[in-house]
């Protein structure tokens, strides 16, 4: 039986429970991440919403900023997590962000998004939400609000300007888990190929006589 995916959720501001609940519904195992060593053995990482300045400060305090930069697995950033991943912070995503782009807390809103999967619109909750700016050429925009990108993928990164953990629609988390499975399979193939190459005898070794 295939083991469940182990997905870390950055919990330096305590934002763990809602994402963990969604992950469990989808058959994944959530892992609380507060220290660098807790990144070991996980298949993917979620950096949830909160206050981006506080998250970045706490990550530096606990040494998580460099640890996350070195983490090679897929990462999903939501709201403030999207900001933390941008080129002006951790530098893992080739895009900029505008903080509080839609307004302050009192301007929080919900919107129906076309996420391009052929299904019903996805109801998204925006709370002091940013939007993406100046995206790099490898960033794929998956959804927009008033022409502003709010959901995007860049390689192993998935970023959302909203809070997908606050609704019953699990499609964004499902998309992230699909990325994790893709990356896990790709890495597995590479490791098997390296192991096979290492196991091959050197050229002509089988023809050497005593």
Q: Which residues are catalytic?
A: 79, 163, 165
In sequence order, what are the residues at sequence separation of 6 or more whose Cβ sits closer than 8 angstroms to the Cβ of residue 67?
Answer: 36, 39
- Tokens representing 16? 């763990």
Length of the chain: 210
How many angstroms separate the CA atoms of 149 and 152, rounded? 7
**CB of 129 within 8 A of CB of 161?**
yes
How many angstroms separate the CA atoms of 121 and 98, rounded? 25
Q: β-pairing, 29-33 with 6-10?
A: parallel
């Amino acid at each position: 039986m295939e083991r469940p995916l182990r997905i870390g959720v950055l919990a330096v501001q305590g934002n763990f429970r809602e994402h963990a609940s969604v992950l469990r519904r989808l058959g994944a195992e959530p892992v609380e991440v507060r220290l660098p060593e807790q990144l070991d053995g996980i298949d993917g990482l979620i950096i949830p919403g909160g206050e981006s300045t506080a998250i970045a400060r706490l990550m530096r305090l606990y040494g998580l900023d460099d640890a996350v930069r070195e983490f090679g697995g897929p990462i999903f950033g939501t709201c403030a997590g999207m900001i933390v991943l941008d080129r002006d912070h951790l530098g893992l995503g080739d895009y900029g962000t505008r903080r509080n782009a839609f307004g302050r807390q009192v301007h929080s809103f919900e919107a129906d998004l076309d996420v391009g999967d052929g299904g019903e619109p996805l109801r998204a909750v925006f709370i002091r939400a940013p939007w993406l700016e100046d995206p790099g050429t490898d960033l794929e925009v998956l959804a927009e609000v008033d022409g502003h990108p709010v959901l995007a993928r860049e390689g192993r990164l998935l970023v959302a300007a909203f809070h997908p953990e606050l609704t019953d629609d699990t499609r964004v988390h499902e998309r992230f888990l699909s990325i994790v499975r893709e990356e896990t399979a790709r890495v597995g193939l590479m490791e098997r190929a390296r192991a096979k190459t290492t196991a091959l005898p050197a050229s002509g070794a089988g023809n050497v006589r005593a």
